[in-house]
Chain A
């Protein structure tokens, strides 16, 4: 099998991640529920994982990581708990439904209004459009760091500067970029950075979180036990505890911790270089095939190793199914939970075949994929 749906989840994890999860199942008690050995083990594991995330995203001492189940939970927490009712919000057509649906929900229940930054022909958005959409009641900017369809990155630093100058709450969706593009939380001017652990951080599913300043105020999405302050009717006032109600997924976080150490030891720059070499091999190969249309900005200095294509006017689902059944190549067809991106690309009916590359793919994988697509396109 050739697995090229890494933007959905990386299936091949660093050797040792699964063992770390199994070990945690045998060793871990419940975080913050006692000072006995196995509960302390859980606490140390969570603390080490916070440290590794902080190191990877360059967080300072006054910033923290609140863990949750995935990027969707993190984005729901940030959007529903951080954006004030009745305000105007700027977002973009690049966004995933993990951003769009909480915003639409707030449109219905909290009277917010939304404007969307448009994308140009190759799927990029521009800060000049944000300046044009800015209103007196604009209070928040919510943007992905990288499109899950085209792989294009967004100039987050420029948008962060815009957000800071206009005192907007700036929420960044790093679901696709974490592990694919270097992230410096401070230089982004982001208030909240939402990530997942199971995509390009190569950890287990069920892990994700929010990076934030301890002074940023976010209302919890989930209310319940935290192991502290039990007689308080509200969640604890301090972060990250305020956002971590319920039993933490220490088993999977132990696996994520192992994956984060793998990234640190391997070097993020080496991981990115490896993925981008394979990405270049893929798009250069596909560019030689008539009838294949490639979407996105292939020549960005920083982007993810995700590529979306179509073959003529073939349904993307048909192409993806042929790749699976005849070549055992795993890809993602359809709209990728990013409806406005597909509207912008003109692919809302056809969808697109998404090929997303991980550190553990090989040159041979890419060569066989090019050959398969060439045969389908012929």
Chain B
């Protein structure tokens, strides 16, 4: 599998990860939940992986459901 630059969003709570998935799907923003990469934080959890070009739309969707504390990363995955 070829590696490429991905946008990864980490959340403060697992419940936020599923709320985010829900709002991203409603807004037809592609991506998927992945295990939280250790380069962000060791110790498990979930993150959202998407195309880097979607950053603005993803942040806007999160704000619409009052998730303002998500953390954005760019990783080669």
Q: In the complex the two chains form, what is the Cα distance from A51 to B32 in whole Å?
A: 20
Decide: B14 and A31 in contact? CB cutoff 8 A. yes
Q: Are A43 and B65 in contact (CB under 8 A)?
A: no
Q: State which of A88-96, A135-143, A233-241, A296-304 sits at the interface with chain B.
A: A233-241
Give bound CA distance, A228 to B16, whole Å. Answer: 12
Neighbour of A229 across the interface among B15, B34, B45, CB < 8 A: B45
CA of A64 to CA of B19, assembled, Å: 11
**B13 engages A239 (CB within 8 Å):** yes
- Contact (Cβ within 8 A) A61 B65: yes
* The one of A35, A44, A64, A226 that contacts B35, using a Cβ cutoff of 8 Å: A35
On whether the beta carbons of A228 and B18 are closer than 8 Å, the reply is no
Min CB gap A192→B, angstroms: 17
Report which of B14, B22, B33 forms a contact with A227, defined as CB distance below 8 A: B14
Assess the A231–B35 pair: CB atoms within 8 A: no
B70 CB to nearest A CB, Å: 12
Known interface pairs A34-B35, A227-B45, A231-B42; A236-B65 also in contact (CB < 8 Å): no
> Is the beta-carbon distance between B14 and A226 smaller than 8 angstroms?
yes
Chain B facing A: main interface SS: mixed
Cα–Cα, bound, A31→B13 (Å): 12
Give every chain B residue within 8 A of A13 (Cβ-Cβ). none
CB < 8 Å: which of A43, A230, A237 contacts B44?
Answer: A230
Enumerate chain A residues within 8 angstroms of B41, measured Cβ to Cβ: 229
Q: Is the interface of A mostly helix, strand, loop or mixed?
A: loop
Please name all residues of chain B whose beta carbon is closer than 8 Å to the beta carbon of A51 when the two chains form the complex: 22
Bound: A152/B48 CA distance, A: 47
CB within 8 Å for A228 and B15 given contacts A35-B35, A40-B33, A61-B65: no
Determine which of A61, A62, A237, A241 lies in contact with B14 in the assembled complex, contact meaning CB atoms within 8 Å: A241
Contact B15 A35 (CB under 8 A): no
Judge whether A43 and B43 touch: CB under 8 Å: no
Let me know if A43 and B66 touch, CB within 8 A.
Answer: no
Q: Which of B22, B32, B35, B43 contacts A230 (CB 8 A)?
A: B43
Interface pair B13/A43, CB less than 8 Å apart = no
Is the interface on chain B under 10, 10 to 19, 20 to 34, or 35 or more residues?
20 to 34
Residues of B within 8 A of A229 (CB): 41, 43-45
A228 touches B45 (CB 8 A): yes
How many inter-chain residue pairs (CB < 8 Å) link A and B?
Answer: 67
**Do the beta carbons of A236 and B13 come within 8 Å of each other?**
yes
**CB of A251 to closest CB in B, whole Å:** 18
A339 to B45, CA, bound (A): 45
Residue in chain A with minimal CB distance to B22: A47
Q: Given A61-B65, A61-B66, A62-B66, does the pair A43, B14 have CB atoms closer than 8 Å?
A: yes
**Complex Cα spacing A40 to B45, Å:** 12
| Residue of chain B at shortest CB distance from A225 | B44
Which residue from chain A places its CB closest to the CB of B32 in the assembled complex?
A: A35
Query: How many A residues face the partner with a CB closer than 8 A?
Result: 28
Q: Does A46 contact B (CB under 8 A)?
A: yes
Query: Cβ of B16: which chain A residues have Cβ within 8 Å of it?
Result: 238
Whether A238 and B13, one on each chain, are in contact in the complex, defined by CB atoms closer than 8 angstroms, is yes
Contact residues in B for A2 (Cβ distance below 8 Å): none
Q: Check A35 against B33 for contact (C-beta < 8 Å).
A: yes
Contact with A along B9-41 (1 / 0, CB 8 A): 000111111110110000000001111100001
B46 interface residue per 8 A CB criterion: yes
Q: Please state if B43 and A47 are interface contacts (CB–CB under 8 Å).
A: no
Inter-chain CA distance A239–B16, complex, in Å, is 10
Q: How far is the CA of A228 from the CA of B15 in the complex (A)?
A: 11
- Contacting residues, chain B, for A236 (C-beta < 8 A): 13
Q: Compute how far the CA of A236 lies from the CA of B41 in the bound complex, rounded to whole angstroms.
A: 14
State the CA gap A33–B19 with chains docked (Å): 16
Interface digits, A328-352 against B, CB 8 Å rule (1 contact, 0 not)?
A: 0000000000000000000000000
Residues in A neighbouring B13, C-beta threshold 8 A: 228, 236, 238-241
A275: Cβ under 8 A from any B Cβ: no
What 6 pairs between A and B have smallest CB-CB spacing? A61-B66, A230-B43, A47-B18, A228-B45, A238-B13, A32-B14
Contacts from A to B (Cβ < 8 Å):
31-35, 40, 43-44, 46-47, 50-51, 61-62, 64, 226-232, 236-241
List 7 other contacts, CB 8 Å, given A35-B34, A40-B33, A46-B15: A32-B46, A35-B46, A43-B17, A47-B18, A61-B66, A227-B44, A241-B14
